[in-house]
């Protein structure tokens, strides 16, 4: 007997009163006539990659919640840092936040971390950093930063593990496994284009 995984939404056409016995008879009849469409079940290698990608997605969502906690702690301290920088977790924002957690309270010293690409001036950033810095809010900010750093470290570990799973997935092709491990900045389409150009003896890319 060949077993299949089927979508329950495709098996609702039972007329009359719905019972488990009628459902079983209806499913058996469809399976006998070959009308029961099996759902897609990927191989184990693909399931491993899918599980890792889903786990990475949940870790990214968790780290995003910690960013919201940091924003809330800053707002409770009357620090309007999000009004003067576009990305709180960028270079400027994280350096300022880490100095606040370390005990720095001088707004001009904190604003000295301003990156040259920031649209706002150092004086404008210093003005936005004038707050009351209550200990309980600084404590909440510290824990949010530590949790955010932990999730970012976990995301890096999941990314490496996902890359290894993808390399194992491409193993049966018979090519060198080292050539199949893509760098993060190189997409499969770009790598295919490079191989085509090298085969044709051309060094130009579009």
Residue pLDDT, tens place only, 136-158: 999 999 999 999 999 999 999 99
Domain range enclosing 34: 1-41
Residues 14 and 16: their CA atoms lie apart, in Å, by 7
Does the pLDDT of residue 113 top 90, yes or no? yes
Q: Give the other-Cβ count within 10 Å of 93's Cβ.
A: 22
**Confidence band for 16, pLDDT divided at 50, 70 and 90:** low
Check residue 13 and give its pLDDT: 61
Q: Give the other-Cβ count within 10 Å of 163's Cβ.
A: 16
Q: Are residues 3 and 83 in the same domain?
A: no
Whole-number percent of the chain with pLDDT over 90:
54
The mean of the pLDDT values for the chain is 80
Check residue 10 and give its pLDDT: 67
Total domains, the chain: 2
Does the pLDDT of residue 205 top 60, yes or no? no
Averaged pLDDT, 109-118:
92
Q: Are residues 72 and 126 in the same domain?
A: yes
Q: Are residues 87 and 67 in the same domain?
A: yes
């Amino acid at each position: 007997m060949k077993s299949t995984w089927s979508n329950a939404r495709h098996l609702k056409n039972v007329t009359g009163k719905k019972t488990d016995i009628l459902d079983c008879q209806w499913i058996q009849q469809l399976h006998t006539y070959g009308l029961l469409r099996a759902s897609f079940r990927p191989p184990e290698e693909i399931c491993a990659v899918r599980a890792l990608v889903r786990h990475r997605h949940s870790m990214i969502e968790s780290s995003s919640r910690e960013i919201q906690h940091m924003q809330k702690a800053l707002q409770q301290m009357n620090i309007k840092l999000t009004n003067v920088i576009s990305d709180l977790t960028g270079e400027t924002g994280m350096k300022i936040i880490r100095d606040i957690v370390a005990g720095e309270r001088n707004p001009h010293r904190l604003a000295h971390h301003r990156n040259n690409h920031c649209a706002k001036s150092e004086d404008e950033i210093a003005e936005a950093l004038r707050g009351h810095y209550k200990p309980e809010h600084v404590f909440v900010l510290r824990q949010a930063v530590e949790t955010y750093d932990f999730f970012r470290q976990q995301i890096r570990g999941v990314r490496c593990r996902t890359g290894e799973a993808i390399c194992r997935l491409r193993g049966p092709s018979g090519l060198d496994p080292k050539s199949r491990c893509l760098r993060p900045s190189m997409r499969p389409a770009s790598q295919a284009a490079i191989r085509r150009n090298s085969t044709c003896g051309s060094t130009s890319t579009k």
